[in-house]
Chain A
Amino acid sequence: MSELTREQAQALIEEVLEVYPEKAKKDRAKHLMVNDKSIEQSKKCITSNRKSLPGVMTQRGCAYAGSKGVVWGPIKDIIDISHGPVGCGAYSRGGRRNYFSGTSGVDSFCDINFTSDFQEKDIVFGGDKKLAKLIDELEGLFPLSKGISVQSECPVGLIGDDIEAVSKKKAVEIGKTIIPVRCEGFRGVSQSLGHHIANDAVRDFIISNRDEQAFEGTPYDVAILGDYNIGGDAWASRILLEEMGLRVVAQWSGDGTLTEMENTPKVKLNLLHCYRSMNYIARHMEEKYNIPWLEYNFFGPTKIKESLREIASHFDEKIQEGAERVIAKYTPAMDAIIAKFKPRLEGKKVMLYVGGLRPRHTVGAYEDLGMEVIGAGYEFAHNDDYDRTMKEMKDATLIYDDVTGYEFEEFVRQLKPDLIGSGIKEKYAFHKMGVPFRQLHSWDYSGPYHGFDGFAIFARDMDMTVNNPCWNMLKAPWLKDEAEGELKAA
């Protein structure tokens, strides 16, 4: 499909909206836009972070998912209790593939589902006693955990349990940090508020724990915030920072530990990868500890180089030289990858619909491969995310917020992208439509995609998906003959 003009794109949006009843149409229209680079502030043309409409299919999660699944889950030595019925936790256990080094069940707990498994009687009589008992059991079974977080599911907020009191009492008893997190699923319109609540809990219960303690710092201490180590992403980022001479004190929260988080206020610079889920704590540290923060992007060589240089500019010449050295070291390898894959991927069109940062962060990586992102959207972004996205995207591309199942399918049908990057909920619908698809939440069981090493894998995976011969075999042979016959006849 050739590139759309602004008018065509606008017409497409209107055509897609046509099926909705008047009210829904009016509401959804506000969430869809055609990109216009000249606009500075996205709020003039796109509405975001609003409640999804009933009846349309949204891909959003809940606040609990944002807190337990995203922010807290990857911290490896804290046990996260999914406090409430059993179901919520089952879907947030290790499914994001946030890797950790450690022994599961001994000193690391990311991939185990701990739940208080509420029954009717817990709803009727309250679950506080059960929580206390659960904490005792955990302490007996997993003595090497460094802390426990209580992640509230919906019912806990509804029946008015006092998890704060239980946590406080038990924390004294077992001598560990216990963090009550009020992230009931019904709070807010998406997982986004869960990130915020989780950050606030970190602020209240973790960040100042070691304020009085001595710390052997160096002038080159940094922390990685908002990297969840999906498929090893944080590791692929960390080695670059270390190679240029920085010392990474903490990883938030992929492969992170409680101690690392407690030590974070001692660093000189916070490096923020996922702005949406961790800007809150970065802001707090900036205000309280005077630590500046910086957003960076480790997808694709162009952006990585930019980011490395920007990070280095906050330090002295030694680090700046380090950054140049790292860039020089990896450039030949990156050039080779681009030389190999670009001819196979050049001109292919991509549509993205992901979560916190990828719809804008991966644009550079696709462009490095000669691909073009023709549509991008977020499940739970806020306007400041769209401000950033509009700069990355080309003019007259589509931007969609909290896109509904129907709209997304319709856009794909009309724009015919060569690749879609989205999540597991979208994956099979598009496979059935015969469109190449990569999961951009969990990297489709691959990864890492961050850093120079990650780009090599990213490029290979995109090629493997787009140029996979299976896409030509989706039509049954007898139907194919017909189609071809028609072609010949015509």
Chain B
Amino acid sequence: MANIMVRKSADGGLSFYLPKRDIEDSITSIEFDSPEKWGGEIKLGNGGVYYIDPIPAPRLPISVRARRVDGVE
């Protein structure tokens, strides 16, 4: 489990930030993105995959715990 931060990037998409290792990336897809359910599997620009326990859509940016499913880094 790692602490990550998800924020809205300037171009309207989502971006991923892993403070512990200072890794930034774009989020290319997110499994759930509705007001009631947000999170699930997120895919990163570098090919990494993380999993966030789904929650009601939060105000971004938000720091959440995420599990690394598959990752380049």
The answer to whether A and B belong to the same complex is yes
Interface residues of A (CB under 8 A from B): 41, 43, 49, 192-193, 196, 280, 283, 286-287, 290, 382-384
A193, A286, A287, A384: which contacts B24 (Cβ < 8 A)?
A384
- Inter-subunit contact B62/A287 (CB<8 Å): yes
Q: Which 6 A-B pairs have the closest CB atoms?
A: A384-B24, A287-B61, A286-B61, A382-B22, A41-B45, A287-B63
Given the known A-B contacts A41-B45, A43-B46, are A283 and B22 also in contact in the complex, defined by CB atoms under 8 Å? no
Residues of B within 8 A of A193 (CB): 22
Interface residues of B (CB under 8 A from A): 5, 7, 17, 19, 22, 24, 45-46, 59, 61-63
Residues of B within 8 A of A41 (CB): 45-46
B7, B45, B46: which contacts A286 (Cβ < 8 A)?
B7
Residues of A within 8 A of B24 (CB): 382-384
B45, B59, B61: which contacts A283 (Cβ < 8 A)?
B61
Q: How far is the CB of A51 from chain B (nearest CB, A)?
A: 14
- Inter-subunit contact A196/B22 (CB<8 Å): yes
CA distance A196 to B45 in the complex (A): 24
CA distance A193 to B22 in the complex (A): 9
**Given A192-B22, A196-B22, A283-B17, 17 more contacts at CB 8 Å?**
A41-B45, A41-B46, A43-B46, A49-B22, A193-B22, A196-B19, A280-B19, A283-B5, A286-B7, A286-B61, A287-B5, A287-B7, A287-B61, A287-B62, A382-B22, A382-B24, A384-B24
Residues of B within 8 A of A196 (CB): 19, 22
Nearest residue (CB) in A for B22 is: A382
- Inter-subunit contact B7/A283 (CB<8 Å): yes
9 A-B residue contacts at CB 8 Å? A280-B19, A283-B17, A286-B7, A286-B61, A287-B5, A287-B7, A287-B63, A382-B22, A384-B24
CA distance A193 to B20 in the complex (A): 10
Residues of A within 8 A of B7 (CB): 283, 286-287
Chain A interface mostly = helix
Q: How far is the CB of A38 from chain B (nearest CB, A)?
A: 16
CA distance A41 to B61 in the complex (A): 22
B7, B17, B24, most chain A CB atoms within 10 A: B24
Q: How far is the CB of B2 from chain A (nearest CB, A)?
A: 16
CA distance A43 to B5 in the complex (A): 20
Nearest residue (CB) in A for B72 is: A43
- Inter-subunit contact A290/B59 (CB<8 Å): yes
Residues of B within 8 A of A49 (CB): 22
CA distance A196 to B5 in the complex (A): 15
Residues of A within 8 A of B59 (CB): 290
CA distance A283 to B5 in the complex (A): 9
Residues of B within 8 A of A283 (CB): 5, 7, 17, 61
CA distance A382 to B61 in the complex (A): 21
Residues of A within 8 A of B22 (CB): 49, 192-193, 196, 382
CA distance A87 to B45 in the complex (A): 44
CA distance A280 to B19 in the complex (A): 8
CA distance A14 to B54 in the complex (A): 49
Q: How far is the CB of B16 from chain A (nearest CB, A)?
A: 11
CA distance A384 to B17 in the complex (A): 11
Nearest residue (CB) in B for A196 is: B22
CA distance A192 to B23 in the complex (A): 13
Q: How far is the CB of B12 from chain A (nearest CB, A)?
A: 14
Nearest residue (CB) in A for B15 is: A384
Residues of A within 8 A of B63 (CB): 287
Q: How far is the CB of A44 from chain B (nearest CB, A)?
A: 9
Nearest residue (CB) in B for A294 is: B10
Nearest residue (CB) in B for A295 is: B10
Q: How far is the CB of B63 from chain A (nearest CB, A)?
A: 6
Residues of A within 8 A of B45 (CB): 41
CA distance A283 to B45 in the complex (A): 20
CA distance A287 to B19 in the complex (A): 13
Q: How far is the CB of B41 from chain A (nearest CB, A)?
A: 21
CA distance A196 to B19 in the complex (A): 9
Q: How far is the CB of A284 from chain B (nearest CB, A)?
A: 9
CA distance A192 to B5 in the complex (A): 19
Nearest residue (CB) in A for B17 is: A283
Q: How far is the CB of B56 from chain A (nearest CB, A)?
A: 17
CA distance A384 to B7 in the complex (A): 15
Residues of A within 8 A of B46 (CB): 41, 43
Residues of B within 8 A of A286 (CB): 7, 61
Residues of B within 8 A of A192 (CB): 22
